[in-house]
Structure 1
Amino acid sequence: MNISIDVKDIDSQVRVSVKGEIDAYTAPKLRETIFPLSEKENVNMVIDLTEVAYMDSTGLGVFVGLFKSIRSHDGEFRLVGLSERLRRLFEITGLADIIDIKSDTEGGLE
């Protein structure tokens, strides 16, 4: 199981593209790569999950922690490019009600 994480800091927006699977094996790498960015004041972070085929509860935990950290630093957080399967995972857990989620990449990556 592999994961690829591409981070670009463009203007005032941190854009993160994730490829692969987010699970107990790969979530620590994801957390270690993007969590320090969440501690900047007023960060505007967009994470593109278009090429993520699978995510388990460990991945959800990473995004909940990231969301909390960004909000505590007066930032904005958005997930874009979710497949129907990933969107459903966020809906079932109730996270879709608190995290800004888009099925396509609208308002996110160009």
Structure 2
Amino acid sequence: MNLSIDVLEKDNCSTVRLSGEIDVYTANKLKTRLIPLTEREGTVVEVDFSQVRYMDSTGLGVFIGALKSTKKHSSHLKLTHLNRRVLRLFKITGLNEIMDIEER
């Protein structure tokens, strides 16, 4: 259960590159890094899932919290490069209907 989080910031865009697994063991680490980025008004937070091998429902909770934070702080969350397995979680829960998700 390992997750690497790299954040690149340029102008009003923060790109969060994730690598590894998002689960009960790593979700708090992700939440601690992601939520503060969404609290900056006018910021676009783009999360790159291209190196995420696995995500469980705990990870979904982090992204629901991030989405709520973007609504509160007038920022924007975009999820990119989701593999089929991870995208399926968002589709099963209907979150793909309310989140900005770019498939692989």
- Hey, what does 1:102 align to over in structure 2? 102
**Aligned runs of 1:8-23 on 2, under 5 Å?**
8-23=8-23
Counterpart CA distance in 2 for 1:13 and 1:32 is 18
**Aligned runs of 1:57-76 on 2, under 5 Å?**
57-76=57-76
Give the secondary-structure state (helix, strand or coil) at the position aligned to 1:46. strand
- TM normalised by structure 1 equals 0.91
Counterpart CA distance in 1 for 2:4 and 2:20 is 6
Counterpart CA distance in 1 for 2:68 and 2:2 is 26
**Aligned runs of 1:30-49 on 2, under 5 Å?**
30-49=30-49
Gaps of 5+ in 1: 105-110
Percent identity between matched residues is: 48
1:81 aligns with 2:63: no
Runs (4+) of structure 1 exceeding 4 A deviation are none
How many residues are matched? 104
Gaps of 5+ in 2: none
CA-atom RMSD in angstroms: 0.8
- TM normalised by structure 2 equals 0.96
Counterpart CA distance in 2 for 1:71 and 1:44 is 12
Give the secondary-structure state (helix, strand or coil) at the position aligned to 1:81. strand
Q: Which deviates more from structure 2 when the two are superposed, residues 34-43 or residues 49-58? A: 34-43
Counterpart CA distance in 2 for 1:79 and 1:51 is 13
Give the secondary-structure state (helix, strand or coil) at the position aligned to 1:53. strand
Normalized per residue, the structure richer in strand is: 2
Counterpart CA distance in 2 for 1:6 and 1:48 is 10
